[in-house]
Structure 1
Amino acid sequence: MKNKTKTIKFAFKMSLPVLFGYLFLGSAFGISLYEIGYNWIWAIVISLLVYAGSGQLLLVSMIASHASLASIAVMTFFVNSRHIFYGLSFIEKFRSYGWRYPSLIFSLTDETYGVNTSFNTTPKDVDEGDARFLIGIFDHMYWIVGSIIGNLAGQLIKIDFTGIDFSMTALFVVIFLDQILASKSKLPGFLGIICALVCLFIFGPDKFLLPSLIITVALLLGMKPLLDDKKEVM
């Protein structure tokens, strides 16, 4: 028998690392949005409907430069195209959760993906589908609250907020390291690092992300039988 209270507590506990990161990073977005003349209501609307992290920070700069809607759409697609690969690795599992499926896909940000991959099973009295669904909801709420706080802080506190956007990078690194330490096989993590470094050297810092993801996914798919065999042995 699944316990709803324990499921909520489990989801909240798993989402806590994202809470602190999203309050800071959401604040960075809220501050940036205020600086180009948009109040906290716009911060809520954009965070609720777009919810794209770095894509929202890009959106602010493109709005400020009076970019066309088509340009914004294309740039947002390229910046967030990595989420295609996140979705592919969870699509079958999420489909099995029924009505939660659309929300699970929409809420699959970098950090939420990291949390979802940090556990393969849940305690026996916790509903896994509800837990993953709630993790996505909690994370989205943290981002919206952070964007509101940042927008209001931009109005009330006149200080230099330079560097606050680095909190997303720091958060993702922590989740990634925690995932590697908890995983039985370290190969996928180290393979991803090597592919990223090689592509960074070849394509440069502005264009390395998408090719490194493509190569990593292709290699992992090719090595899937080997990885599955190692899991069975362990």
Structure 2
Amino acid sequence: MIKTALKTSLPILFGFVPLGIAFGLLFQELNYPWYFASLMGIVVYAGAAQFMAIGLLAAGVGLFEMAMSTFLLNSRHMFYGIAFLESFGNWNLRKLYMIFGLTDETYALMTSINVPKGFNKKKYFFFITLFAQIYWVLGCTIGALSSEILSFNTEGMEFAATALFVVLLIEQWIMVKRLLPFMIGFIASFIALMFFIDHMLIVAIIISIGSILIFRLVNKSHYE
């Protein structure tokens, strides 16, 4: 099971390590010890929030303001978590960790794969979540250590996340093969980008969920 979970999580590896390296390099410009970048990857484990934290720390923003900004930025995960309340099993330390470790990438991956026959779904998802965080911490650590021995141009490394999501989108299409969810996602993203650019992601998620609920209600009333 561990070997299969490792193989399944490889797309996340190729996205997380380059982005983690970029974070580690940028974070060291704040002149913290190198292991602080690794600790953030372990304790915070939120890519966008960690990059945001660099600017907030540089500006001397208070702890409360940083906590609120992080909460709002990652509030989208509340929508993700609902889909896995049962899949993550009973309330124990493992489930709490899997909730903590749920990211955009792990959510997209775990909703686009079939759990191999004979595997325990909860343990399988646990290992995928664990490997994903290991990749991220590894990238953060490499970037932090590298900053002390070489200068590195991080321009363009953010494309690693875009490439990762393209791969995950293709996996989702292979799994679902229904055009409607993808059209809803595209239209919702376009509307959010045009009119709510400062809160694009959360608005796109709300529009998508609302649209899907409306379609479900219409279909249900139609068949009744």
Match of 1:232 in 2: none
Match of 1:40 in 2: 34
Which letter maps to 1:163? G
Match of 2:22 in 1: 28
Gaps of 5+ in 1: 1-6, 229-234
Match of 1:104 in 2: 98
- Aligned: 1:155 with 2:155: no
Alignment of 1:96-175 (within 5 A): 96=90, 99-119=93-113, 121-175=114-168
User: Cα gap change, 1:227/1:190 in structure 2, threshold over 3 Å: closer, same or farther?
Assistant: farther
User: Cα gap change, 1:101/1:10 in structure 2, threshold over 3 Å: closer, same or farther?
Assistant: same
> TM-score, with normalisation over the residues of structure 2?
0.91
Separation in 1 of the partners of 2:54 and 2:219? 42
| Backbone CA RMSD of aligned residues | 1.9
Separation in 1 of the partners of 2:199 and 2:71? 14
Aligned to 1:223, the other structure's residue is in SS state helix
Report sequence identity in percent: 37
Q: How many residues align?
A: 220
Aligned to 2:60, the other structure's residue is in SS state coil
**1:66-86 deviations in whole A, cap 9, x for unaligned?**
111111111111221111111
**1:187-212 deviations in whole A, cap 9, x for unaligned?**
212211111101211223x2222111
**1:163-188 deviations in whole A, cap 9, x for unaligned?**
22332232123212321232132321
- Aligned: 1:18 with 2:12: yes
Alignment of 1:52-131 (within 5 A): 52-96=46-90, 99-119=93-113, 121-131=114-124
- Aligned: 1:49 with 2:40: no
Once superposed, which parts of structure 1, at least 4 consecutive aligned residues long, lie more than 2 Å away? 95-100, 221-228
Separation in 2 of the partners of 1:137 and 1:117? 16
User: Cα gap change, 1:130/1:151 in structure 2, threshold over 3 Å: closer, same or farther?
Assistant: same
In the TM superposition, what is the alpha-carbon distance from 1:227 to its structure 2 partner?
Answer: 8.1
> TM-score, with normalisation over the residues of structure 1?
0.87
